[in-house]
Amino acid sequence: ISTDKKKALGNVLAGINKTFGAGTINFVSDVAENLKIKFYKTPSKELNDALGGGFGVGRIVELYGDFSAGKTSLAQSTIAYNQSIDPNFVAGQFETEGSYDPEYAKDVMGIDNERYIVWEQKDTTAEKGLDILRSLVASGQFNMILVNSVNWISG
């Protein structure tokens, strides 16, 4: 890109940033480091490689598969793995199946229940459950939240 073209583009960007606030628009070369996606690793190097690094931080990840295929186990083992390498890693689980077993989670999956919050949908509506979920996400205090599980009924 020519110097004149870069200068003209810089003037356009400066005008937009003045109108809409500093940092609204930038050359990628100026903010490339900020655009890199961070990942939470799974315990599986092969899965991390297939996913491009693991589960993307700040992303919604859906684990889809047959009943008892290991979706919850994968999610919980990923949480336990990240808790093992980061003492500030906090996770939560919105439990719609009533199947969370704290002893199994600790002894088998390796979850630190001191840094794991579970709430069950029982005796509440789905809407209230989603309001709770939204509040927890908005708090910014959780590294990962597992929703276990969403069942699809067809027919």
Model pLDDT, residue 155: 58
Distance between CA atoms of residues 72 and 9, nearest Å: 49
Model pLDDT, residue 102: 94
Distance between CA atoms of residues 50 and 46, nearest Å: 6
Model pLDDT, residue 154: 59
Over residues 101-136, the pLDDT tens digits come to: 999 999 999 999 999 999 888 777 888 888 999 999
Residuewise pLDDT in 10s, the chain (155 residues): 899 999 999 999 999 999 999 999 999 999 998 889 999 999 999 999 999 999 999 999 999 888 889 999 999 999 999 999 999 999 999 988 788 899 999 999 999 999 999 988 877 788 888 899 999 999 999 999 999 876 655 55
Whether 95 and 119 have beta carbons less than 8 Å apart is answered as yes
Q: Which residue, chain included where needed, has tokens 């699809």?
A: 152
Give the angle subtended at the CA of 100 by the CAs of 147 and 48, to the nearest 5°.
55
Model pLDDT, residue 98: 81
Model pLDDT, residue 34: 87
What predicted TM-score, i.e. pTM, was given to this entire model? 0.78
